[in-house]
Amino acid sequence: MRFALRRLGFFAVTMWAALTLNFLLPRMMPGNPAVAMMAKFRGPVSPQAFKALAAAFGLNNHQSMVSQYFSYLGDVATGKFGTSLYFYPQSVGRVILDAIPWTLGLVGITTILAFVLGTGIGIVAAWRRGGRLDSIAPPVFVITSAIPYFWVGMMLILVFAVRLRWLPGAFGFDITLAPSFSPAFIGNVLEHALLPATALLVTTIGTWILTMRNTMVTTLAEDYVRMARAKGLPGRRIMLDYAARNAILPNLTGFAMSLGFVVGGAILVEYVFNYPGVGFMLLQAVNNEDYPLMQALFLLITVAVLVAILLADIATAIFDPRTRTAG
């Protein structure tokens, strides 16, 4: 219980740090960059929204820094993120809510898939140590994990969308179709998700394989595994129940954490594929100087990661008693 409270306290502090960064960054930069943004949007934005913006980015000189800071914290606490400039007159909240399902679907499913496949391959590679898989996997996946996501995406677009014309290389669905839950539309969405999902899978699976393989190799040398062999237990049982079960902890923790990174993790893949998720919105906001949207998305991504790490910590503490006393 004390452990959980301490972690909660830590996350409150982290959240506060992220909020404060969000507040301070535009004010610290030479020549507040928000000024340029304001000039750009003076036309289309209503005077009232404009005034709110000026206050949010510290252009309102009547207020002291401290009172600006507290009214900012109040706004965030009550969920007032203001109006998006680029998607005006939609509110920031609306834009984000529209984007979240796309990211959760694409990145969420891919993350789970990469974890399951990668862990499985890692188990087999370590079990058949010195075999063909084990000699190929490490160098190959060390290299794939060093390739930029977005470039893998570009190459997939080049081969499968531009040259072969097998799959669409942009957008979440065919824009001539009306979104619905009909089989045709769902099929269309899946078709559009295939290339970005592959790009993510190729670049993320390596970490799972290597972590699992390396931990498993260590576990396989433990005495209790030798004991199980001496007892003549079937190989499958030793592999899964004795070795893999104990070796999977680092991967499980990593998995819980990576679920938090789902929200912001595929920013560049979404960007390359014009996939209408959270990451794409973040870059739209960046490229169009829509700072309110950008700040809200950054906070959202941070919260998602924090929650996931908190859950990962609690899960680790439950599964592995050794960590509870570690200081």
The residue ranges that bind other proteins (CB under 8 A) are 3, 10, 13-14, 17-18, 21-22, 25-26, 29, 33, 129, 138-139, 142-143, 145-148, 150-151, 154-155, 157-158, 162, 210, 214-215, 217-218, 220-222, 249-250, 253, 261, 264, 267-268, 271-272, 282-283, 286-287, 291, 294-295, 297-298, 301-302, 305-306, 309, 313, 316-317, 320, 322-327
**Token pair belonging to 280:** 């794409």
Give min distance, CB of 268 to other proteins, in A: 6
* Closest to 206 in 3D by CA, of 117, 111, 118, 109: 118
> 89: cis peptide before it, omega within 30°?
yes
Give min distance, CB of 179 to other proteins, in A: 26
Output 47 or 327, the one with its CB closest to other proteins.
327
Output 185 or 222, the one with its CB closest to other proteins.
222
Q: Is 83 helix (H, G, I), strand (E, B) or coil?
A: strand
Output 29 or 186, the one with its CB closest to other proteins.
29
Q: Which residue has the tokens 């941070």?
A: 302
Q: Does residue 269 contact residue 150 with C-beta atoms inside 8 Å?
A: yes
Output 182 or 218, the one with its CB closest to other proteins.
218
**Token pair belonging to 249:** 């902890």
Give min distance, CB of 119 to other proteins, in A: 17
Q: Vertex 27, ends 75 and 285: CA angle to 5°?
A: 65
* Closest to 289 in 3D by CA, of 84, 92, 56: 84
Q: What is the DSSP letter of 5?
A: H
Q: What is the DSSP string of 8-43?
A: HHHHHHHHHHHHHHHHHHHHHSSS-THHHHHHHHTT
Give min distance, CB of 30 to other proteins, in A: 9
- CA distances to 120, 207, 268, 292 from 250, rounded to whole Å, are 14, 11, 27, 37
Output 16 or 179, the one with its CB closest to other proteins.
16
Give min distance, CB of 273 to other proteins, in A: 12
Give min distance, CB of 180 to other proteins, in A: 30
Q: Does residue 293 contact residue 95 with C-beta atoms inside 8 Å?
A: yes
Give min distance, CB of 113 to other proteins, in A: 21
Please, what is the angle between helix 278-287 and helix 249-265, to 10°?
A: 40
Output 178 or 230, the one with its CB closest to other proteins.
230
